[in-house]
Chain A
Amino acid sequence: MNLEQIDEAQDRRGQAEGGPAFLRRDRSQKEATRVAYGKALLELGRENPQVVVLDADLSKSTHTGAFAKEFPERFFDMGIAEQDMMGTAAGLAFCGKTVFASSFAIFATGRAFDQVRNTICYPALNVKIAATHAGITVGEDGGSHEAIEDVALMRSIPNMTVVVPADATETRLAVKAAAAWEGPVYLRLGRLDVPVLFDEGYPFRIGKAVRLREGRDVALIANGVMVAAALEAADRLARDGIEARVINMSTVKPIDAEEIEAAARECGALVTAEEHNVLGGLGSAVAEVVVQRRPVPMALVGVQDRFGQSGKPLELLEEYGLTAADVEAAARQVVARKGR
């Protein structure tokens, strides 16, 4: 075995009681991925003097503020001007800087789409768009501020890499990996405090899915806040003797097609779960692989093509069908469709 294979074997090592060693049993600790982003950025700033950070008047919310405080000369608050922020980020990247540009997901991808597309991705610049407040768990601010299409927008642009971390640990690793990655990266981060799922040994690599639980009856492929829901759904299914494989597909692009194909082959049914419109996000990305490589019954858990609204984050997850119970129901449905 070469190093890569050994690495992979470790990543996917067999299911001891309760899953891989890096998967926490106690998930009571919570931290929003945006908070983890702020901390990771600070570490990165200390390690790498070429890192600069831009924000658009949201540094308190995106948590770039800590970096701003320690490295004021390398932090640029661009004011409420996301388009200018992305263009300026490009100019800095043209001159060799590794640039992190942050705002809410809705503005970073929607308001500044053309700047991201034409000025950052077309020349494949080292700009990392770390967007917080993605999805409906923004909560009370409502539908105008809840990005449900950002992954679709970003993954449709050539040269762009799209990563949706599930917890604080993965966020920290993803920020470091993004900085080292050649070219633009979209990091999708959340506002809500979510369980810390992984310990430091978590084997994060851009483009590599991580298997969190073994199973052969159905595969649950999730990212972001839905990873915790998928793990819980797998526990519930196991009570009825349905063994669900759980895969954290944090990189939506480039997608880990091998892992998807293996899941389709070995489990024969798939459920995707994402806090995003089912049009164009993780579910679509997985389906694109499945239909071309190994068609099997599949269900897409996600926002069913409707805008978000105000409410408490957990209420919204329930309203939009994004709970462990919803993932479980979808899994039972695809299992029933197997072999028909």
Chain B
Amino acid sequence: MSTQLSTQLLDPEYAFRPAQPVLSAEERNRLQGIALTLRRDIIEMTAAAQSGHPGGSLSAADIVTCLYFSILRHRPQDPHWPDRDRFVLSKGHAAPVLYAALAEAGYFPREQLQTLRRLHSPLQGHPDMRKLPGVEASTGSLGQGLSIGNGMALAGKLDGRDYRVYVLMGDGEIQEGMVWEAAMTSVHRHLDNLTAFVDYNQLQIDGRVTDIKSLTHVGRRFAAFGWHVLEIDGHDLDAIHAAVQDAQRTKGRPTLIVAHTIKGKGVPFMEDQVEWHGTAPKPDQAKEALAQLGAGGKEAAQA
């Protein structure tokens, strides 16, 4: 049985839950199915590569699903459409979840997912925008995505385009000082066309974030910088949607969505286990993981 997120994690000051569901049952079902497909792809991809980062990819799967399959305005057949919304995966090691989403959206054939991390593959260990269509920024060296997102948001305002920019950061990543330089810039430049997520799964390579370098009250820290802050259950599709809608309504300042998540979410033996940050499942473990996840979204829907 999959772990449920403790709602006590949310800072009461910024806890955000929609009063009523914002998604229709049908839409929620559809997105749940896609999220499941992405999770299965993450397991299969990293198992095929025998390398990669499943834990933080699984924790972000619901956020990425909502973005790519409901929120973002984008055209997979026209990846350079100037008015598209931009998504920057600042935590570049979660590349598998991004690749799974791009393949599912039709940016490239699904079969390519199996080439993850292989020589000459466009699916590099960390996203490379020059190799794979749909990747908005080459990332991997942590802490840089928010600055990149700021630049994109500034360009949008400069050009009078109404696209929005979404940045997904890891929680451990916020220990990079550059994030706080960027956090000041977003506020100083009134970048209300920018929304940042923190995938707050509480784990980083060396252990629990609270033990390595605590981020207690991360929401309050950003709020003190002038950000509009919302804390949500990052696996609640309605909450993700409602929070993004709230961000879109917020004028004059950027929004930070602290998405409380479970690392390895969906695969019980990986959940909240730091060992699964950067370890790929062995074939038998992958089989077990897929069995625990259940049949893929489309197959399930057809069944």
B155 & A97 in contact (Cβ 8 Å cutoff):
yes
Residue A122 lies at the interface, judged by CB distance under 8 Å to chain B: yes
Query: With an 8 A cutoff between CB atoms, is A73 at the interface?
Result: yes
Q: Taking CB as reference atom, which chain A residue is nearest B88?
A: A91
Question: Which of A73, A90, A96, A124 lies at the interface centre, i.e. has the most chain B CB atoms within 10 A of its CB?
Answer: A90
Q: Is A180's beta carbon under 8 Å from chain B? A: no
Q: Beyond A83-B143, A119-B148: 13 further Cβ-contacts under 8 Å?
A: A78-B181, A79-B181, A79-B188, A81-B178, A83-B177, A84-B185, A90-B137, A91-B147, A92-B151, A94-B151, A95-B152, A97-B158, A118-B140
Interfacial residues of chain B within 174-219, with CB under 8 A of chain A in the complex: 177-178, 181-182, 184-185, 188-189
For B185, give the chain A residue with the smallest CB separation. Answer: A84
Residues of chain A lying within 8 A (CB to CB) of residue B65? none
**Which residue in chain B gives the minimum CB-CB distance to A56?**
B181
What are 5 A-B contacts defined by CB distance under 8 Å? A84-B181, A90-B137, A92-B151, A96-B155, A123-B129
Closest to A82 in B: B181
Task: Tell whether, in the assembled complex, residue A81 and residue B181 are in contact, meaning their CB atoms are under 8 Å apart.
Answer: yes
- Evaluate contact between B128 and A95: CB separation under 8 angstroms: no
Q: Are A87 and B141 also in contact (CB < 8 A) when A52-B158, A81-B184, A124-B130 are? A: no
Residues of B within 8 A of A248 (CB): none
Contact among B138, B143, B150, B151 for A123, CB-based, below 8 A: B138
Q: Which of A105-156 contact B (CB under 8 A)?
A: 114-115, 117-119, 122-124
A73 to B177, alpha carbons, bound, how many Å? 27
B144 interface residue per 8 A CB criterion: yes
- The 3 A-B pairs of least Cβ separation, nearest first, read A91-B151, A87-B147, A95-B155
- A91 touching B148 by the CB < 8 A rule? yes
In the assembled complex, which residues on chain B have CB atoms less than 8 Å from the CB atom of A89? 151
Q: Which listed residue, A79, A87, A114, A124, touches B151 by the CB 8 Å rule? A: A87
CA of A88 to CA of B147, assembled, Å: 5
CB of A90 within 8 A of CB of B141, answer no
- B184 partner residues in chain A, CB cutoff 8 A: 79, 81, 84
Contacting residue for A73 out of B128, B151, B158, CB 8 A:
B158
> Which label, helix, strand, loop or mixed, suits the secondary structure of the B interface?
helix
**Do A122 and B151 touch (CB < 8 A)?**
no
Q: Answer whether A94 and B178 are a contact pair too, CB < 8 Å, given A74-B158, A118-B141, A123-B128.
A: no
B154 within 8 A of A: yes
A122 touches B138 (CB 8 A): yes
Q: Are B130 and A91 in contact (CB under 8 A)?
A: no
Q: How far is the CA of A211 from the CA of B189 in the complex (A)?
A: 48
Closest to B179 in A: A84
**Min distance, Cβ B156 to any Cβ of chain A, angstroms:** 7
Say whether, besides A81-B185, A87-B148, A119-B144, A94 and B154 are in contact (CB < 8 Å).
no
Residues in B whose Cβ lies below 8 Å from that of A124: 130
* Cβ B185 vs Cβ A78 within 8 A: yes
Q: Is B149 an interface residue (CB 8 A)?
A: yes
B185 to chain A, nearest CB (A): 6
Flag if A91 contacts B178 (CB, 8 Å).
no
Q: Min CB distance, B261 to chain A, in Å?
A: 25
A222 contacts chain B at the CB level, 8 A cutoff: no
Across-interface contacts of A74 in B (CB, < 8 A): 158
Tell me the smallest distance from the CB of A75 to a CB of chain B, in Å: 11
Q: CA separation between A76 and B140, bound complex, in Å?
A: 26
Question: Which residues on A sit within 8 Å (CB–CB) of B143?
Answer: 83
For the complex, give the distance between the alpha carbons of A305 and B156 in Å: 45
Interface residues of B, Cβ cutoff 8 Å to A:
82, 86, 128-130, 136-141, 143-156, 158-159, 177-178, 181-182, 184-185, 188-189
Residue in A closest to B148 when the chains form the complex, CB atoms: A91
Report the minimal beta-carbon distance from B183 to chain A, rounded to whole angstroms.
Answer: 9
Interface residues of chain A, those whose CB is within 8 Å of chain B, are 52, 73-74, 76, 78-79, 81, 83-84, 86-97, 114-115, 117-119, 122-124
Contacts A78-B185, A83-B178, A118-B138 hold; do A93 and B128 have CB atoms under 8 A apart? no
Query: A91's contact among B140, B154, B177, B188, by CB below 8 Å, is which?
Result: B154
User: Which of A78, A92, A123 lies in contact with B155, CB distance below 8 A?
Assistant: A92
Q: With a CB–CB cut-off of 8 A, which chain B residues contact A90?
A: 137, 144, 147-148, 151
Contact A91 B149 (CB under 8 A): yes
CB <8 Å contact, A114 and B141: yes
Least distance between A18 CB and chain B CB atoms (Å): 48
Q: Verify A83–B147 contact, CB threshold 8 A.
A: yes
Q: A88-B151, A91-B147, A91-B155 are in contact. Are A83 and B181 (CB under 8 A)?
A: yes
The one of B82, B144, B159 that contacts A118, using a Cβ cutoff of 8 Å: B144
Alpha-carbon separation in the docked complex, A123 to B140 (Å): 12
A123 to B124, CA, bound (A): 13
Contact, CB under 8 Å: B158 / A94: no
**Residues in B whose Cβ lies below 8 Å from that of A115:** 141, 144, 147, 178
- With both beta carbons as reference points, the residue of chain B lying nearest to A115 in the complex is identified as B144
Known: A74-B158, A94-B136, A123-B128. Is A88-B185 also a contact (CB below 8 A)? Answer: yes
CA distance A35 to B158 in the complex (A): 27
Whole-angstrom CA separation of A13 from B145 in the bound complex: 50
On chain A, the residues within 8 Å of B177 by CB distance are 83
Most buried by A among B130, B151, B153, B177: B151
Q: Are A88 and B158 in contact (CB under 8 A)?
A: no
Chain B residues near A52: list those with CB within 8 A: 158
A87/B178 in contact, CB under 8 A: yes
> Which of A76, A87, A117 contacts B182, CB < 8 Å?
A87
Most B-side CB within 10 Å, residue of A81, A87, A123: A87
User: Given the complex, which residues of A lie within 8 Å of B150, measured CB to CB?
Assistant: 84, 87-88, 91
- Report the nearest A residue to B167, measured CB to CB: A91
Give the CA-CA distance A89 to B145 in the complex, in Å. Answer: 12
Cα distance A97–B156 when bound, in Å?
Answer: 11
A96: chain B residues within 8 A (beta carbon): 82, 155
The answer on a CB contact under 8 Å between B155 and A84 is no
Contact residues in B for A88 (Cβ distance below 8 Å) = 147-148, 150-151, 154, 182, 185
